[in-house]
Amino acid sequence: MPTDEAAERDYDLVLFGATGFTGGLTAEYLARHAPDDCRWALAGRSSEKLEAVRDRLTGINPSLSSLPLLTGDVTDGPSLLAIASAARVVITTVGPYLEYGEPLVAACAEVGTDYVDLTGETEFVDTMYTRYHEKAAASGARIVHACGFDSIPHDLGVRFTVLQLPEAVPLRVSGMVRVGGAISGGTFHSAVTAMSRGPKMKQASAARQQAEPRPVGRRVRAVARPPHRDRDTGLWLVALPTVDPLVVKRSAAALDRYGPDFEYAHYAAVKRLPVMLAGLAGVGALAAAAQLPPLRKLILGRVTQGDGPSAERREKSWFSVRFVGEGGGRRVVTQVSGGDPGYGETSKMLAEAALCLAFDDNLETSGQVTTATAMGEHLTDRLVRAGMVFEVLAKG
Report the distance separating Cα 173 and Cα 187, nearest Å: 26
Q: How much is the average pLDDT of 219-242? A: 92
326 has a pLDDT exceeding 60: yes
**Confidence band of 278 (pLDDT split at 50, 70, 90):** confident
pLDDT in tens, 121-169: 999 999 999 999 999 999 999 999 999 999 999 999 999 999 999 999 9
pLDDT in tens, 174-189: 999 999 876 666 667 7
pLDDT in tens, 205-223: 999 999 999 999 999 999 9
**Confidence band of 284 (pLDDT split at 50, 70, 90):** confident
Q: Higher confidence at residue 99 or residue 295? A: 99
pLDDT in tens, 338-388: 999 988 999 999 999 999 999 999 999 999 999 999 999 999 999 999 999
Three-state secondary structure call for residue 114: strand
For CA atoms 342, 344, 349, 350, give the dihedral sign.
positive
4 has a pLDDT exceeding 60: no
pLDDT in tens, 287-324: 787 787 887 777 777 766 666 777 778 888 999 999 99
Q: Distance of CA 186 to CAs 94, 118, 148, 377, Å? A: 9, 10, 13, 29
Report the distance separating Cα 188 and Cα 309, nearest Å: 14
* Among 365, 294, 111, 389, residue whose Cα is nearest residue 357: 365
Domain 3-146+346-380 has CATH 3.40.640.10: no
CB 30 within 8 A of CB 15: yes
Q: How much of the chain, in percent, has pLDDT values that exceed 70?
A: 95
**Confidence band of 6 (pLDDT split at 50, 70, 90):** low
pLDDT of residue 305: 65
pLDDT of residue 62: 97
Three-state secondary structure call for residue 316: helix
CA atoms within 13 A of residue 340's CA, in its CB half-sphere: 20
Q: Across the chain, what does the average pLDDT equal? A: 92
| DSSP annotation string for 140-207 | T-EEE---BTTBHHHHHHHHHHHTTS-SSS-EEEEEEEEEESPPPHHHHHHHHHHHTTHHHHHHHHHH
Interacting residues of 310 by C-beta distance below 8 A, sequence separation 6+: none
End-to-end Cα spacing for the chain: 42
Three-state secondary structure call for residue 52: helix
Report the distance separating Cα 69 and Cα 49, nearest Å: 10
CB 322 within 8 A of CB 121: no
Range in 2-11, 23-32, 126-135, 211-220 with the lowest mean pLDDT: 2-11
pLDDT of residue 297: 79
pLDDT of residue 386: 98
pLDDT of residue 192: 79
Between helices 77-86 and 102-111, what is the axis angle to 10°? 50
Range in 3-7, 238-242, 315-319 with the lowest mean pLDDT: 3-7
Report the distance separating Cα 174 and Cα 18, nearest Å: 35
Neighbours of 275 (CB within 10 A): 11
pLDDT of residue 294: 84
CB 165 within 8 A of CB 138: no
pLDDT of residue 274: 83
pLDDT of residue 5: 62
- Residue 236 burial class via C-beta count within 10 angstroms: exposed 0-12, middle 13-18, buried 19 and up: buried
If you ran DSSP here, which 8-state letter would residue 75 be given? T
Report the distance separating Cα 30 and Cα 66, nearest Å: 15
Q: Higher confidence at residue 231 or residue 51? A: 51
273 has a pLDDT exceeding 60: yes
142-144 sheet: strands from edge to edge: 69-71, 40-44, 11-16, 87-92, 114-116, 142-144, 367-368
pLDDT in tens, 252-261: 999 999 999 9
CB 237 within 8 A of CB 228: yes
pLDDT of residue 296: 77
Amino acid at 33: H
**Confidence band of 2 (pLDDT split at 50, 70, 90):** low
Amino acid at 77: G
Q: Locate the domains of the chain by residue range.
A: 3-146+346-380, 152-341+389-395
pLDDT of residue 209: 95
Report the distance separating Cα 3 and Cα 342, nearest Å: 35
